[in-house]
A and B are shown apart, each in its own frame.
Chain A
Amino acid sequence: MHEDELRRQITELVADHADRATAPPIAAIRRRGRRRRARLAGVTAGVILALLAGTLGVDRLTDRQTPLAPAPTTTAPPTTRPVPAGTVAQAPAGGFEVLLPAGWTARKVEGPDVGKIPNLIELVPRRAMSLTAAIVLHTQVLWPEQHPGLPPGEEPGGVADPHGLGFYGLDDRGSPLGHGRRRDGRPYVWRTRKLPDEVGEYAIAWPYHCHKAVACPPGNRWRVLVVQAGRSDDPAVRKKLLTVARQVVNTVRPITNALPGGDPTQLDPALPPPRVQAGSGGTAPPTSGPRP
Chain B
Amino acid sequence: MSGDDFEDFYLASYPRLVGQLTVLTGRLEDAEDAVQEAFARASTRWARLRAYDAPEAWVRRVALNLATSGLRHPRRQLAILARLGTPTAEPPGSTDRLAIEAGLRRLPLRQRQVLVLHYGADLPVEEVARQLRVPTGTVKSRLARARAALGAYLEETREEPGHARG
> Does A18 have its Cβ within 8 Å of any Cβ on chain B?
yes
CA distance A29 to B73 in the complex (A): 24
Contact among B32, B72, B101 with A78 in the assembled complex (CB-CB below 8 Å)? B72
CB pair B72 A17 closer than 8 Å: no
CB pair B15 A166 closer than 8 Å: no
CB pair A194 B135 closer than 8 Å: yes
CB pair B147 A164 closer than 8 Å: yes
CB pair B71 A113 closer than 8 Å: yes
CA distance A285 to B11 in the complex (A): 63
CA distance A111 to B36 in the complex (A): 23
| CB-CB contacts below 8 Å: B12-67 with A | 14-16, 18-20, 22-23, 26, 28, 31-32, 36-37, 39-44
5 A-B interface contacts by CB (under 8 A): A23-B11, A33-B42, A33-B43, A111-B74, A171-B135
Question: Which partner residue on chain A sits nearest B119 by CB separation?
Answer: A10
Contact among A19, A78, A114 with B15 in the assembled complex (CB-CB below 8 Å)? A19
CB pair B72 A77 closer than 8 Å: yes
Interface bracket on A: 35 or more
CA distance A36 to B150 in the complex (A): 39
Which residues of chain A have C-beta atoms less than 8 A from B116's C-beta? 10, 14
| CB-CB contacts below 8 Å: B63-104 with A | 69, 71-77, 88, 91, 93, 96-97, 100-101
Which residues of chain B have C-beta atoms less than 8 A from A12's C-beta? 97
CB pair B150 A173 closer than 8 Å: no
CA distance A194 to B28 in the complex (A): 36
CB pair B43 A166 closer than 8 Å: no
CB pair B148 A15 closer than 8 Å: no
Q: Among B40, B100, B150, find the residue whose CB has the most chain A CB atoms closer than 10 A.
A: B40
CB pair B19 A18 closer than 8 Å: yes
Q: B123-150 toward A: CB 8 Å interface, digit per residue (1/0)?
A: 0000000000001111011111111111
> Does A60 have its Cβ within 8 Å of any Cβ on chain B?
no
Which residues of chain B have C-beta atoms less than 8 A from A78's C-beta? 69, 72-73, 75-76
CA distance A34 to B136 in the complex (A): 37
The interface of chain B, by Cβ under 8 A from chain A, is 6-7, 10-11, 14-16, 18-20, 22-23, 26, 28, 31-32, 36-37, 39-44, 69, 71-77, 88, 91, 93, 96-97, 100-101, 108-109, 115-116, 119-122, 135-138, 140-152, 154
Question: Which partner residue on chain B sits nearest A163 by CB separation?
Answer: B148
CA distance A230 to B97 in the complex (A): 39
CB pair B23 A13 closer than 8 Å: yes
CB pair A21 B137 closer than 8 Å: no
Given A14-B23, A15-B19, A164-B147 in contact, is the A6-B119 Cβ separation under 8 Å?
yes
| CB-CB contacts below 8 Å: A84-141 with B | 109-114, 117, 140
> Does A183 have its Cβ within 8 Å of any Cβ on chain B?
no
Given A18-B15, A113-B71 in contact, is the A11-B142 Cβ separation under 8 Å?
no
Given A79-B73, A166-B141 in contact, is the A20-B119 Cβ separation under 8 Å?
no
Given A33-B44, A111-B72, A112-B74 in contact, is the A14-B19 Cβ separation under 8 Å?
yes
Which residues of chain A have C-beta atoms less than 8 A from B28's C-beta? 17, 20-21
Given A18-B15, A18-B18, A32-B37 in contact, is the A79-B72 Cβ separation under 8 Å?
yes
CA distance A112 to B25 in the complex (A): 12
